[in-house]
A = this chain, B = another copy of it.
């Protein structure tokens, strides 16, 4: 009887203790959110990155300047160590002439186009050939050798019925990435792809492609969704129309670049590392505001709010500006390589690379399911801030290479409805970012890092 009584009191005691801990955490998270929403600096840092530095394509002068400027920001918010990690990145340049395309149908009809990243240009004299439309790889395969000597136009729209726009991006993205070589295999001389955009617009949306070394490297461009429709209509009216394409882009080898790392050293377990990051490189058509200036300044903000609230982390927190996510992933690979070499324990990495929109959830990934579920167990603490889902499977292109070290990878999931309106196009500018949405995202990232630091993973 006495034993049962004792157990009962112990249980009650533990229950209260757990509740008290939960309350302590929720109070701290509220302080973090309120501080970021009230005094956050991410938005002004993003303005600087967009308006004073500008586009940050790997290997460009803007990118090199962004390395210096974000290193300065990391020092200013109170990182105790700021350093650069050298990595070689491919240098692709669009060239000093705009890409152009004309559909030759009676009067020549100009199309709004942009060369795809990593693609080889046509040269200044351009390329003129018959254009043939396909809606899928199945249609391409059915045509086979009939595309020889022609320009293949992939007209596969992002499916608007997907509520999660990244699903539609994943579905339609394969034509941009691999469509050139698939067409070259059958002798096509050029490739044009419908832009990956959620809605009809007049902007070409660029992005990376890669060549299969087995086939000729044919020029590859994205055409705006409105002009894809126009082109498709013209081809329905009259078969065998010719298209003129011109681009002077191309690879210029590799150059030295840098990941930027800002650290607050852990006071108890300095050899346990928690990473939070975004990628510093961007496409060249705009300012890389949502993609991924947002993720960079949000990661810097995590350090700022720790300092502002006097949080001394037990573990080492690193804010990382990864290099070359868009067309090579060299920064993320280098970071994981150095992480493996330094012999520290990389327990968790969080990336924000889905836009600076209102946050809705986190995706969490670890093959050790219990470590994944430890993170998911915090879900209720985030509900007051509109974070309503902790899903399985998540991370980011830059942090996924850490998985082989056993690191838990987490990706911030912002609302995705607007992302592919601006993604990789001339519309990805500072003005498209909402201060409150950006800061709310940064604050929940800081809260997740805070809990990870406190409880480990």
Contacts and interface: CB of A to CB of B under 8 A. Distances in A.
A34 B421 CA distance: 19
A161 B436 contact: no
Contact of A437 (B418, B434, B437): B418
A34 B161 contact: yes
Contact of A160 (B37, B358, B384, B417): B37
A417 B440 contact: yes
Contacts of A33: 161, 163
A386 interface: yes
Contact of A440 (B34, B163, B437): B163
Contacts of A360: 386
A388 interface: yes
Nearest to A33: B163
Please give the count of copies of this chain that the complex contains: 2
Interface string A395-437: 0000000000000000000010110010000000000001111
B163 A37 contact: yes
Given A199-B436, A360-B386, A436-B198, A38 B161 contact: yes
A417 B388 contact: no
A385 interface: yes
B163 A386 contact: yes
Interface in A169-217: 198-199
Contacts of A163: 33, 37, 384-386, 440
B435 A415 contact: no
Nearest to A161: B34
Contact of A417 (B165, B384, B389, B437): B437
A165 B38 CA distance: 13
A417 B385 CA distance: 11
Interface of A: 33-34, 37-38, 160-161, 163, 165, 198-199, 358, 360, 384-386, 388-389, 415, 417-418, 421, 434-437, 440
18 contacts: A34-B161, A37-B160, A37-B161, A38-B160, A163-B440, A198-B435, A199-B435, A358-B358, A358-B415, A358-B417, A388-B388, A415-B415, A417-B434, A417-B437, A417-B440, A418-B434, A418-B437, A421-B434
